[in-house]
Structure formats: C-alpha cells, structure tokens
Amino acid sequence: MLVVTNRATSRTPACSDSYFGVTGQRNPTYVACTVSVPKKHSIGALDESDERVPDPQAFFFPTRMETLDEQQLIARASAAQETIVFVHGFNVSFSEAVHRAAQIKYDLKFPGSVVLFSWPAGAEEGFLSTIDISGTYKANKLMAELARPAFSSFITRLTDTRARVHLIVHSMGHEVVLPALASSSARVDQLILNAPDFALDDFQRLAPALSKISRRITLYCSPGDNALVASERVNSNRRVGRCSRVPGVDVINVNEVDTPVLGFGGLGHGYYSGRAILTDVHQVLLGVDVRRRLFVRTSSEYGGEDYVLRK
C-alpha cells in the first residue's frame, strides 16, 4: 500500500498511529506499507484488532514499512498504468486509513496501484479528546483545509504521468480534495465522491471546474445520513452528501442499501466501503454508463438524486 501523508511523525518509524499522529507538517512523508489481509475476510468488512501485535491471519495488519521519496512513490504508482487515490474522512486514525485502503483495493480486485492520501484526522489520545466530538470536528476540519497544498502538489505530479488516475473520497476528505483539485492543473478519470461532508453551495460553485478536469463525477449520497445531519447543524448549511442535484454529476441515492448499526439508528455514513457500493464502483472504474449499471435505476421522484442504488 502506497501512502502520502502530511501527518507529523514521531518515535520509531512504522505504519502505525504511534508514528503518524493527528497534527500536520508542511512536507509530506512517502511510504509503502505491506498489509496482511485476513484469511476469512468478507467483502466490506474492516477486520481490526486492539491488540498491539494482532494475528495477521485474522486481522488487517501492516507488517512492514518502506520509506520512499516523492519521485519513487509516483514512479511506483504510475507503473501500473491505472491508479486509485483514496482520501479518508473525519476522525480516522492512520492505521484505520491504511486498513481501509487495503480493504478497498482487495475487495475491488483492482489490478492497478492504490495510493492512500492520509491527512491529520483523528483526536489526541485521552478520554477528554475522545468524547469532545465537536472539538475534534473543528480541529479535523482545520487540518483538512491545511492539507490542501500537499494534496494539490501530489495529485498534479501523479496525473502528469501517463497513469489513468481515479479519486475515491469519503466524508470530510472532500474538504481536502475538492478545492485543491478545482484549482489545480490535475486531470483525473473517475472522481468518486462518497457521503461528502462539504457545503452544497461551495460544491455547486466548484462543480463546473471539476467537470472539466474529470471524465465523470459520481456522487453517492443518503438523505438518512445522520452524521451529515449533525454536520449541517454545526455548519449551518446543506451538505452535499444528503443528496442534491448538481449539473454534470451522477447523483446516486444509496439510502436503500445503507445498513445502519444493528439494523436501526446508526450514523448511516460509512456505506462507501460496503459490498453494494463497491460493486457499483467496480462498474464505474470499468467505464460503464450509469444508466447501464446493475442495481442502479433512474429516480422516479423529483428529489435530490438522479438515480437510486437498489438492493
């Protein structure tokens, strides 16, 4: 797993939270993390353990880390001719981000390379930091905004190669990606947006520029996303991930396939890595038109979506 991160580092180098923290640094770090995949892994599952050294046969686990420079990482990423860049969302630790990127690559059976861009999301260790969600949200949003220059520089360098580059973004990761991408000279193939925690007015303003630099924009959204309901209260504006039609964007309502915690309640915000979405993403990456994809139907309601993803 190739990783670009502007998380500040400390202690002994490793693909771990003890080395990559929740504060930022100006110059990104470039590494390759070797990640074991559980023998009994099920599509969409993130098999993690709280143990310091978990069983690599049962859990996602980084087994080693190799330090690279930017040129080496871009050479490796572009060598496969097709690359996915994954950008995670709010309150995600470095380890979780690495595991999730590995899970997405494995479940998609993606033959090319996957690069994780990890910005300083998460909270400082300690009880008070853990329960102060509002404080963590504001701190994470600031870190996302500060990560834009590092992301812009990297994605521009990567797309300057001959590789076909796709972007998969989740949640607050859109605060990193969308403004940086819209103002860059980068060119991407598929721009895949999952539960964007991003102001609708700002997205509508950026959408024309994003449409010019990407072959297609696919937006997965859910009116029942409780995390974004909370975000709307904090930000006092409509969030893109709650479904609103935008010209030039395939807006797909995934409310039917979203399975909240224990079948009820829950945040309804983590659907992006589940079987239903990954099945559709696989077809997106193959270039299948939205009207011809399995399990997607045209919306019969005049609501916030163009299409609905069915079970």
Question: Which CATH number fits the domain that encloses residue 27?
Answer: 3.40.50.1820
In this prediction, residue 45 carries a pLDDT of: 76
In this prediction, residue 261 carries a pLDDT of: 44
Out of 124-138, 155-169, 208-222, which region has the weakest mean confidence (pLDDT)? 124-138
**Is the pLDDT score of 114 beyond 90?**
yes
Overall number of domains in the chain: 1
In this prediction, residue 264 carries a pLDDT of: 40
22: left (phi over 0), alpha (psi -120 to 50) or beta: alpha
Mean pLDDT over the full length of the chain: 90
Beta pairing, strands 214-221 & 188-194: parallel
Q: Two tokens at 33?
A: 């993390």
**Residue entry with tokens 């009820």:** 264
pLDDT band at 162 (very low <50, low <70, confident <90, very high): confident
pTM for this prediction? 0.93
Report percent pLDDT > 90 for the chain.
74
The strand pairing partners of 66, in sequence order, are: 32
CA–CA separation, 213 vs 232, rounded Å?
28
Q: Which long-range contacts (CB under 8 A, 24 or more apart) does 288-296 make?
A: 290/218, 290/250, 290/252, 296/252
In this prediction, residue 265 carries a pLDDT of: 42
pLDDT band at 262 (very low <50, low <70, confident <90, very high): very low
Helix ranges (DSSP H) in 164-274: 173-182, 200-213, 226-235
Nearest to 33 by CA among 4, 78, 1: 1
Beta pairing, strands 214-221 & 296-298: unpaired
Domain that holds residue 113: 2-309
